[in-house]
Amino acid sequence: MAISREDIEKVALLARIRLEDSQIASLENDLGNILNLVDQLQAADTSSVEPLAHPLDAVQRLRADEVTESNQREAFQRIAPATEDGLYLVPRVIE
């Protein structure tokens, strides 16, 4: 599949990207190569391949679900400008 100079200029305009003439010629070639590669990949027969979430059967090591910090709520509430019933009071921003 080929991409035309007009397509590149249109996309550059929509993306608000300024391209020089030399860049457009280079992009036309590079994007054409990328689209050809995509066409090759789409032509591959994958009907007998089972979909995978990950190509490796790896198990992610997770850390233990343990509390590692002490509760400092009281200390934070003491230095807050305004609190009530354990909640922080903030100015209303939506009427």
pLDDT of residue 9: 93
Measured over the CA atoms of residue 27, residue 24, residue 28 and residue 3, the dihedral's sign is: positive
pLDDT of residue 12: 93
Instruction: For residue 83, give every residue at least 6 positions away whose Cβ sits within 8 Å of its Cβ, in sequence order, or none.
Output: 77, 89
pLDDT of residue 95: 77
What letters, b where the CB count within 10 A reaches 16 and e where it falls short, cover 23-60?
eeeebbeebeeeeeeeeeeeeeeeeeeeeeeeeeeeee
- All residue ranges of the chain with pLDDT < 70 are 1
pLDDT of residue 53: 78
pLDDT of residue 56: 80
pLDDT of residue 45: 92
